[in-house]
Amino acid sequence: MTSEPVIGCVLMDESPKRFLVFFSVVSAIIIVVDQVTKYLVSDLIPLNTSETILPGFLNLVHVKNSGAAFGMFADKGNLINRVILSAISFFALLAILWIVMSQRLEKYALIGFALFFGGAAGNFLDRIIFGEVTDFIDIHFRGIHWPAFNVADFALTTGAIIFCLRLLFANRQST
């Protein structure tokens, strides 16, 4: 079986088992690191307080987000929002698993899906167990302040960036 180059990389020719093991390991690392860091922040930093790490750039905070990205749809105590956000996350996780198990993906797509799955699963666990997500990374620079986020959010964003770059370069190669 020969490999076709795709964006300077090789299609995943390995056995489906190795393919799924790689996906599972990357996803599991994201989930574990996400959950451990959220636990440590919850244990060590009082709720709604901040610890400066790099003055003028990075703080560790302890905030809760009952909504989606950037606090959208946040309404503490709203069971309907919690159920809807949890259901969306659950079906997204199922869709990712279906794609990964049924498609032959190149390595960057696989990495993107693994990051996306791990991030979505980390925040899904928080939403199911606690009803809200713990955010703790607070970046700001020269008056620009990014909303607090966590390891799962970082993995989701990195996965999305990989997908976008993959599409951008695939479109350039096809023209």
Q: Are 138 and 148 in contact (CB under 8 A)?
A: yes
HEC sequence for 77-94: CCHHHHHHHHHHHHHHHH
What DSSP state is assigned to residue 45?
Answer: S
Contact 62, 41 (CB under 8 A): yes
The catalytic residue among 34, 126, 138, 153 is 153
The answer to whether residue 138 is catalytic is no
Where residue 158 falls (left for φ over 0; alpha for ψ -120 to 50; beta otherwise) is: alpha
Check if 135 is active-site.
Answer: yes
Name, in order, each residue with C-beta under 8 angstroms of 1's C-beta and a sequence gap of 6 or more.
13
User: What is the distance between the terminal CA atoms of the chain, rounded to a whole angstrom?
Assistant: 27
Q: Is 8 left (phi over 0), alpha (psi -120 to 50) or beta?
A: left
Choice among 34, 126, 135, 138 that is catalytic: 135
CA distance 61 to 68: 18
Active-site residue set:
135, 153
